[in-house]
Each structure stands twice: as C-alpha cells, then as structure tokens.
C-alpha cells in the first residue's frame, strides 16, 4: 500500500477515535474517506463499534457500496449513506453518520439548527430529511441505494443533514475539516438548545457565516483543533498504533538497531539500505 | 457447575458492570437471569451495590424468591420484582430494576415515555405503576410477593414499566437484549426530555417501532453494542475476572503445558490436588 | 489517641473524599463530626480544600468553635455553622456545609425542595435561611456565632437547610447517614428540577417519607451505599491511607513478624518503643 | 531569565491547564500575563491549543501585540484582545479569552449575567460587546487593534465582558485572581441558567457583591481554590514540569550530590555524552 494511503487510513482511524472520545459516536455510527487516487472508491470500517475499529478493519468499497475485493467481513447496513453522497458530491471526500445526543433533540423536535457561535460557522445551513416521507414505515435504517440517494438529495449543496428520529450525516472536503465541522456542529446544538431555553436566540448573519467559515476551514485552525483532540485520545488511551508503512519501517529499523542482537541488526541494516535507494 | 451456566453467570456480572459504568445503576438496583435449564429458578447477586458484585456473590432463587440452598448471604429486599416477573412472563429470561437519573424525571412527573429515535424502538410502550394505588403508604420498596405480582401485572406484555417516585424495571428474552434495551431506553428518556423542552416531540410510528425493534434485537446489532460496552468497562477497570470453568481449566492446562517448564508443571499439579481436598 | 477515635477520624476523611468525588464539595465546603466521648467538642479539618484534607489536618474545637489546644493552623471562617448546630441539636453528630451545583439553583430561585423519589425520603422537609433577613448586607459567610445560631434556628428539628444565594447545610446522627442524606439529597434536587421542567411534580406523601426514611437510614442500606462510594474513591485514587492506630500497629507487628528477617524486627521494635514515649 | 519571571511563567502555564481541565478552554482560547517589571509588555503562548502550551511556547509581546524579539512562532490572531486591555487598564495584569459552554448561552441569548451565589461576587457587572455593532460583518475574530480597543472600551472598569455569538474575556490583577473569577464566573452562569429555568432568580445585592468580592479576592480564598485546582490537574496528568530556573538548578545539583554515588554520576555523564552524538 502506498505510504500516502497508509497515512490517510491511519488518520481515518484517529478521526473515528476522536469522535468516539468526544461522545459524537457510541456503539453506532461510522466515518469514511474517499480514495485519494480513485474517486470511484472509498474506505470504511467493517461492521463494528467505531471506537473499536482498527486500520485492519477497513474495507474498500465502490460508490455502489460493493466491496472492491471479496471480503469475509460483515459490512455496515447503512454504507449507502456514504456511497450515495460520494456519487452526488464530487467535492466531498469524507463523511460521518452519527447519533450524537447533542444533535438528536433537533432531529426529534424538528427545530432548525442555526450557527450561533463563530466556530460553528462551518456548519452552514442544515436541511431535514425524513425517511418516512418517501419510504413510509421502514426499519429506519438507510440500507437501500434509493434511500441513500434520497438522503444525498436532501443534503444538496450543504455540509450537514438532520435525519428525523434518527441522527445526522456530515460531509467535508477532508478528514480534519470533517472532524472540526462535526465536533463544533455538536457543540453548536448543545449551546443553541440552551439559548432556546432562555427564550431568545441570536444567530450568525449570512455575511458572518461566509467570512468566518472561510477562516475557520483553513489549516491553522483545523490543525490546532486536531492536535488538541489527538491529545485527548492519547490521554484516554485511544490513540491507534501506527501500522508500519514503508518509511515507518525505517524508523523502526533504527530503533531495532539499538535494542536487537547482532543478527537482527544485519537484516535491519539491509532494510535500511533498501530504503535509501 | 456446567460450563454454559458458568459462562452465563459471568455474562450476568459483565452486564451488571456495564449498567454501573453507563450510570444506569449506582449503589442500588439489581440484575437477574433465569436459570437456562430450570425455568423455575433464577440467579441474582446477594445484597450489595451491583458494581461490586462478583460471580461468587450470586445466589440461586426459586420463583418465590427463596434461596434454593441455605445461604448466609443477606438478599435484596426487592428480589420479588424478579421472581414475580419470571412467574408471569415465561418469555422473560433477564430482568433489571434501576433508578437511572435519565428515567426518574418521568417516574416523578408522570409524563409518558415514547420511543423517539430508532435505537429505542426496542423499548416499546412503557406503562406506569404506582405502589400507592394498591398498597397505600409503604416504605416504597417492592418487598412482598403481592407487590411484585402487582408490578408484573402492570408490566403486562411489555418490556419496561415505570414505577412512580421510585424507578423502572426492564425485561428481556436474554442478557444482551436486556442491556441494549436498558441503555438505549435510558438514552431515549434523556433525548425525549430535551425535545420536550423544545416544545415538540415527533415519536416513532407503530409501524416503525415494529420493524425497527425486530431489526435491532437481532444479534449483529446487540453484539456490536455489547462489544462496545465491554470495551468501556475494560477501560474503566471494571471487567470481572473470568472464573475458571471446567473447560477453561482444561484450556489453561493446555496452555500451561505449552508454556511451563517441567518443574513448574509439577507444582501446579500439586496445587490442583491440594485444592480438590 | 484511642482506636475508636482514630477509626472515626479516618472515616471523616473518607466521607469528605466521597463528597468531593461525588461533586458535592469542590474547593470549598467542610465536613465535621462530634467527639464520641465528649459532646462538647467536634473535629473539623483546618482551612483547606476538603478533598486535600488528611487526618493530620483535623483540629478539635469546642462548641464555641475555639481550638481545644493551641494550633498554628488557619481555621475555616465558617466553623460556627458546625459548632452552633452541635449546640442546638444534641441528636446531631455530623454536619456538612456545601455549595453543590444540584442544590444551588433552589438556593437561588427560592423554589422549595421536596423528596421526589424513595432514596431521598431521608432528606425530609428543607427550610430556607437568608442571612440578609437578620444581618443585612454581609460578606455572605457565616462567621459570627450569632449568624451560626440563626442558621441553627432555621434548621430547627430538620436535617437540611437551604442558604439563599449561598448553599446548604446537612446534619445527621452519624457520618454514614450524613453522606447518604447528602448524596441522595443532591440527586433529589437534580431530579426534581428536571421534573419541574416537565411541568408536573409528584412528591412523596408524609406517610411514605416516614416509612421510607426509617428503612433507608438503617445500616444495611447506608452501608451498602457507603461501600459503593468507597469503591468510587478507590478508583479515583482518593482513598486516604489509614493512620497506624495502636491495634493496627499490633497487626502490623504480627505481619512484620511473619515477613521480616531478625534484624528488621529489632529496628521495628525500637521504632515502636520510641513511639510510646 | 530572573527566577521570579520563570516562576510566573510556570504559573501561567499551570493556570492555563487548570482552565483546560475545568472545561473553560478547549482547542481555542488563551491566557496571558503582563510582564511584572515592564508594564508595556506581556507574555502569551504561541498559536496552539492552550492545554498543549508549555513555558517554551511563551512569547513576549508589546502592548501593540508585536513580538519583542523576532520569532518563528505563529501567534494567536486574537492577541490584540490582551494588548488592548493591558493598554486601557493599568490595573489589569492577567487576561483570558474563552468560549466556555457555560457562558456562551448568555452570549447567544443576550440574557444578562448577574452574580447569584457568594463565590461569584468577584465577577461583578458583565457588559456586552457585539463586534457587529461597530465593524459589521467580519470573520468574528478580534484581530485588528481597533477591534481590540473597542472590546476594551466595552469592558470599561469591569472584570468580565460577554462577546455576542463568540465568548467572553475576563481580566484580573493577577493570575490566581483570574482563575478564581473565571471558574466561579463559569459556575455562576451554569447555576443562573438553571435558576432561570425555574422561573425566579434572586441575585446578590450591591452591598453583598462589594463585601463578598473583597473577602473572596484575598489570598486565603484564592490560594485555597488554587491548591484544589492544582490537585485536579495533577490527577489528570496535566501538571507541567517545572523548568529548571537558576536556583532550581542549584537545588537539583545539591539533591543529585546527596543521592547519587560516584559510579552513578559517571554513567549519567556517559549517557549525556552519548545523547549528544
């Protein structure tokens, strides 16, 4: 596997652990990322609680949400949420579906989400989608391509969609932007509901949303927040081990040199000399 | 003790720790499971805080909530909640009684609980029971068989009953279904109360409840959530040690055989023979 | 120091750590206990955050809240809360003053506290006290004997008093009863405020309060809860080391006898003989 | 660096970690302190999440918020908040800008903050500032000197200012007073919003505010709370290592001299020389 993809898949798992640690994900929900070299494919963990997913649990799916290679893994029944959004939105490279407790009261009450503080400007307008409208009584899971496509239409050109009596789906141009939008989108819902209880809500103006979102989506801002959340999962013991990529092997080889007996050092040296070429 | 029962009792303790870690149980409350081979008996811990209960604290009771074998243990004064529900409901194999802070506001206000998001479809309709109605002023504990039987009648064919000014009791066909229903039932109450504060509640339709509950009660869903909660109690240092069952001993013996030098094996054999005396 | 007092002072520190861990106490607040052999004295920590107090920080005060022996320690400015309640109420042996966030909204809004679930029956009626009524504008601390006596009058024959814009004071016949009443009194406030938000509150009847309080104040109930809270502070790393009492020293000596080589035993004996001087 | 400044910069980092641990700061926000010997300068971390900042991340800025010495570090875009307040208020020696979730509902709803319990008397009156009023649609960050100066004017002679749809800024005569005011100011907002939900708020009288603030701002009170918060960051593993100041180095050298045998010193020297290679 090329190093940049290994790096990206590791970041996907880190992102997933961050959302678990920030209580956006629990036993359910999932995060995916589009293949950086082949826009017709995306990566998503096999069917398991997101906090428990490792890089080795990731599968590569087509935009029809079929596995690229045969797999024994059980897959998420709602994977079409991801595939259909990647189909409809070429600008989207990362997607999360979740049931955060901060967001669900809006999905239940039908009250609209509006950005109420600067860090939530990146959320933008949040349309509603009700599976019942088009599909009647269902098991409430988005499992059929037609259901995923309907959700993608409701999302439209926006970055977050609220699913009535179910949860939310958030999209972004990349993983770090996705986590920033999802966490501050969650914070925004918590703060908005508290302001609603006080009887008055003052939301951002369209001009403020535009100017502030543009600023906050830049790397200095998303990276500063990313570093903070990484520290939080480190403290929680959730930081995933980094799979040995080719360049990581080099570093390991150096470490091995210090610790290992002579014979081991020789083969490590070979590994290194290969790398230098 | 047969291996399947040892396995089940360990799972009962794991389930209890999960509910403690998820803040459904605190110093009070209790979880029980029906005997898998003798439907006229059930297992429940002796009188102590559920988080502290070990497999060795479990006692076997008849459906009249009398100990099958003489015991020095103090028993829960409210054990009849379990016995009377097992009597009335042959389809129920696991019961929890709790005072979760998410649920109590409904037991205090008398506002009805309705499922408001897909994962809570498994809760279904939740009737009320008020000990005062039939028994007048009491010490508010369900200690007499008649009180337990009255509660079981209020539960009827449902899976959860709200006890006014007291708490709730939840039933299920098995331990993992019980934990799923209890945790997401608790989440449902928290989310419902927040939506109520927003002035509008949109609940699941009867068709949605039926279809969604059927899906969520299947093992892929309950096991995925179980694995997640098990990880949470592992992180919290609450995972109970597994008591050596007969086959586990065999496995350990095999493992020991592989790992241990001869002398160690001999002293292990001695230790075992000592234990048998 | 007699062993029973050493035991009791250790329990006082354990109780204080429990209330810190349960978020009833933060940087402020204090817990005291009456001297078991001399009802004209009580023990309370020197001026420091309650979570940080050790047995060695305890001072012995008269009921006028003057140190029995000269001390270099700074004392709590509000110690008269304890002394004046011990004076007025011979049946009270333990007192806590706190500013728990669950209770303060009632002290601010003036809404009455009523027991709304069975475990809070032990709280009973909760009168209000407003320092401003009798003393006008002050620094809001209960520092003068007259202020403490006024608070004790407001408490009357009850077990908890709410102090407007300030906090609460809780009394009990012993330490474990005090912690039980304080923690479940705090839970009661949290649950009551949530039921209030739902628009209806159903509280315990006078008969239920009487019968239920009588049951819950018995040792099986208070000890079960105590053991649970002790486990919580153990998990949080807050369990205070037990000071070596005389009989504990004896036990240690026996243990040392078993474990230690001869020379070590000799120096241990020397250490003991030094201590006795 | 003189020892008193080293001490103060360490305290600034401790203060920042305390506010991170108390959930006042997250990925964003910043704390600064005025130079004790040169009132025309102040210290503030480089651009990074406050919890992650170390003493080595601190930069020294003029009151125009320009670096005193050239630096490669990226700086906070909102540093002018600090510089302009230090300019306008010679009595202010420490400033924090934050987006605490307790405070933001007031910044969103526009409801006024009033002190509702004794420990929050130190907050005093809290004016509002809306960047939109003077500057129209912006990226909502206080990045221009004119914006910082406008905020400082809104703060006036007070100690806290609410920034609409953004957050709050708090000032103090020193670091410990700043942390006391910020944490209890945050608590006050949480408690006030709960009392508001109960339909009645009883706030401190002007006389109570004056007398109580005077008492709580004295060192016995601020130090007692400081010690408590330090213990909390120690438990959370957030206590920053103390940089070796000149006198600390001396002490360490003395300690090393006492503890280490000659051979150990030699191997330590070797280890150091190895590292340099």
pLDDT in tens, D102-116: 999 999 999 999 999
Give mean pLDDT, residues B251-273: 41
**pLDDT value at residue A247:** 47
Chain B contact set for C194 (CB, 8 A): 104-105, 108, 193
Could you tell me which of B110, B85, B104, B230 has the C-alpha nearest to residue B170?
B85
- CB of B48 less than 8 A from some CB of C: yes
Q: pLDDT value at position C244? A: 56
Residues 6+ apart with CB under 8 A from B218: none
- In this predicted structure, the answer to whether residue C175 has a pLDDT above a threshold of 50 is yes
What pLDDT is recorded for position D249? 43
Mean pLDDT of D65-77: 97
The three-class DSSP label of residue C271 is: helix
Q: Are C178 and C146 in contact (CB under 8 A)?
A: no
Backbone angles phi, psi at B62, to 5 degrees: -75, 175
User: Count of residues for chain A?
Assistant: 277
Q: What is the pLDDT of residue D244?
A: 56
Choose, from B22, B78, B84, B147, the residue flagged as catalytic. Answer: B78
Q: Which chains touch C (3 or more CB pairs under 8 A)?
A: B, D
Left, alpha or beta for C141 (phi > 0: left; psi -120 to 50: alpha)? beta
- The pLDDT-based confidence of D236 (bands split at 50, 70, 90) is very high
**CB-CB contact of C197 with C115 (8 Å):** no
pLDDT at B234: 98
> For A56-70, A172-186, C244-258, which range has the lowest pLDDT when averaged over its residues?
C244-258
What spatial distance separates the first Cα and last Cα of chain A, rounded to whole Å? 18
- Say whether residue D60 is in contact with chain A using an 8 A CB cutoff: no
Asked if A81 has any chain B CB less than 8 Å from its own CB, the reply is no
Distance, CA of B98 to CA of C225 (rounded, Å): 14
Indicate if B78 belongs to the active site.
yes
What pLDDT does residue A182 have? Answer: 98
Which residues of chain A make contact with B207, given a CB cutoff of 8 A?
A: 136-137
For Cα atoms A164, A167, A170, give the angle at the middle one, nearest 5 degrees: 115
- Measuring CA to CA, which residue among A25, A169, A126, A109 is closest to residue B191? A109
Supply B239's token pair: 């995972």
User: Do residues A183 and A120 touch, judged by C-beta distance below 8 A?
Assistant: no
Q: Which chains touch B (3 or more CB pairs under 8 A)?
A: A, C
- The average pLDDT across B115-121 equals 98
Confidence check: pLDDT of C277 > 70: no
pLDDT of B152 strictly over 70: yes
* Sign of the CA dihedral with C147 first, then C149, C151, and C153 last: negative
**∠ at Cα A103 (A97, A105), nearest 5°?**
130
pLDDT band at B242 (very low <50, low <70, confident <90, very high): confident
Residue D53 CB contacts under 8 Å (≥ 6 apart), including other chains: D13, D16, D45, D46
CA contacts within 13 A on the Cβ side of A84 = 21
- Please report all neighbours of D, defined by 3+ CB atom pairs within 8 A: A, C
Q: Do C236 and D231 lie within an 8 Å CB cutoff?
A: no
Option in C101, C107, C109 nearest D190 (CB):
C101
- Average of per-residue pLDDT values in chain D: 90
Contacts of A192 (CB under 8 A, 6+ apart): A113, A114, A116, A201, D108
Which residue in chain C is spatially nearest to B101 when comparing CA positions?
Answer: C191
- Inter-chain touch C204–B51, beta carbons under 8 Å: no
Paired sense of beta strands B160-163 and B128-129, if any = parallel
Q: What is the pLDDT of residue A243?
A: 60
Instruction: Name the residue of chain C whose CA is nearest to D198's CA.
Output: C109
CA distance D185 to D120: 6
Instruction: Give the pLDDT score at D248.
Output: 42
Q: Is A139 on the interface with B (CB under 8 A)?
A: yes
CA distance B165 to C202: 7
Report the distance separating Cα B194 and Cα B214, nearest Å: 27
**What is the pLDDT, as a whole number, of residue B244?**
56
Residue among C56, C50, C71 at smallest CA distance from C242: C56
pLDDT of residue B265: 41
Burial of C251 (0-12, 13-18, 19+ CB in 10 A): exposed
Higher-pLDDT residue of D227, D260: D227
Query: Is residue B78 very low, low, confident or very high in pLDDT (cuts 50, 70, 90)?
Result: very high
Model pLDDT, residue C242: 81
Q: Is the ipTM of this complex over 0.85?
A: yes
pLDDT for C177 equals 98
Q: What are phi and psi of A60, to 5 degrees?
A: -105, 125
D-chain residues near C167 (CB < 8 A): 117
| pLDDT (0 to 100) of residue A241 | 87
- On the question of pLDDT at B256 being above 50, the answer is no
DSSP B204: P
For residue D264, is pLDDT > 70? Answer: no
Q: What is the pLDDT of residues C69-117, one digit of tens each?
A: 999 999 999 999 999 999 999 999 999 999 999 999 999 999 999 999 9
C247 has pLDDT over 70: no
The yes-or-no verdict on residue D247 having pLDDT over 70 is no
**A95 beta partners:** A32, A171
Contact with chain B for residue A190, Cβ under 8 A: no
Of A191, A224, A235, the CB nearest to D101: A191
Is the pLDDT score of D259 beyond 50?
Answer: no
* Among candidate residues B103, B125, B106, B122, the one with its CA nearest the CA of residue B114: B125
Q: Return the pLDDT at B42.
A: 98
Cβ of A111 within 8 Å of Cβ of B198? The answer is: yes
Residues of chain D positioned with their CB less than 8 A from the CB of C107 = 117
Residue D42, class by beta-carbon neighbours within 10 Å (0-12 exposed, 13-18 middle, 19+ buried)?
buried
Residue A233: is its pLDDT beyond 60? Answer: yes
Read off the pLDDT band of C133 (50, 70, 90). Answer: very high
Q: What is the pLDDT of residues A238-271, one digit of tens each?
A: 999 886 544 444 444 434 344 334 444 444 344 4
Q: Cα separation of D18 and D229, whole Å?
A: 6
Cβ–Cβ contact B212 with A under 8 A: yes
Residue with tokens 């206990």: C33
Binary contact (D117, C26; C-beta < 8 A): no
Q: List, by residue number, the catalytic residues of D.
A: 78
Give the nearest chain D residue to C74 (CA atoms). Answer: D220
Quote the CA–CA distance of C234 and C250 in Å, as a whole number: 25
Q: What sign has the CA pseudo-torsion B116, B122, B124, B126?
A: negative
- Write down the pLDDT at residue C243: 60
Query: What is the rounded CA–CA span in Å between residue A122 and residue A115?
Result: 8
For D180, which residue in chain C has the nearest alpha carbon?
C27
- D28 in contact with A, Cβ within 8 Å: yes
Residue D178, classed as helix, strand or coil, is helix
Instruction: Give the mean pLDDT of chain B.
Output: 90
Mean pLDDT, residues C228-244: 91
Residues paired with residue B42 on neighbouring β-strands, in sequence order: B34, B61
Question: Residue written as tokens 């059980």?
Answer: A74
pLDDT for A203 equals 98
pLDDT over 70 percentage in chain C: 87
Residue C72, both tokens? 């270099």
**Over residues C37-65, mean pLDDT:** 98
Beta-sheet strands, E only, within C126-207: 128-129, 160-163, 167-172
Mean pLDDT of A222-237: 98
C-alpha B115/C-alpha C48 separation (Å) is 48
> Given this model, what pLDDT does residue B243 score?
60
Catalytic machinery residues of A: 78
What integer pLDDT is reported at residue B252 of this predicted model? 41
How far apart CA A50 and CA A99 sit, in angstroms, is 12
């Amino acid at each position: 596997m090329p190093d940049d993809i290994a790096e990206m898949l590791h970041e996907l798992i880190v992102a997933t652990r961050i959302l678990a640690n920030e209580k956006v994900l629990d036993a359910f929900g999932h995060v995916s990322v589009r293949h950086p070299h082949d826009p017709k494919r995306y990566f998503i963990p096999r069917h398991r609680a997101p906090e428990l997913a490792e890089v080795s649990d990731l599968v590569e799916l087509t935009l029809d949400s079929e596995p690229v290679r045969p797999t024994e893994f059980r897959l998420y029944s709602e994977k079409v949420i991801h595939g259909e959004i990647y189909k409809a939105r070429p600008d989207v490279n990362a997607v999360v579906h979740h049931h955060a407790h901060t967001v669900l009261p809006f999905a239940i009450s039908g009250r609209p989400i509006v950005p109420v503080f600067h860090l939530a400007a990146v959320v933008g307008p949040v349309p509603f989608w009700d599976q019942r409208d088009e599909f009647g009584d269902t098991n409430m899971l988005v499992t059929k391509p037609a259901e995923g496509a309907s959700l993608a239409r409701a999302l439209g050109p926006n970055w977050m969609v609220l699913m009535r009596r179910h949860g939310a789906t958030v999209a972004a141009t990349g993983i770090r932007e996705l986590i920033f939008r999802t966490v501050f989108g969650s914070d925004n819902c918590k703060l908005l509901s508290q302001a609603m209880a006080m009887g008055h809500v003052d939301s951002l103006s369209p001009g403020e949303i535009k100017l502030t979102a543009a600023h906050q989506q830049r790397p200095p801002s998303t990276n500063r927040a990313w570093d903070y959340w990484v520290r939080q999962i480190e403290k929680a013991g959730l930081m995933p081990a980094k799979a040995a990529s080719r360049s990581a092997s080099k570093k390991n080889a150096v470490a091995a040199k210090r610790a290992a007996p002579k014979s081991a050092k020789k083969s490590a040296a070979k590994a290194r000399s290969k790398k230098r070429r």
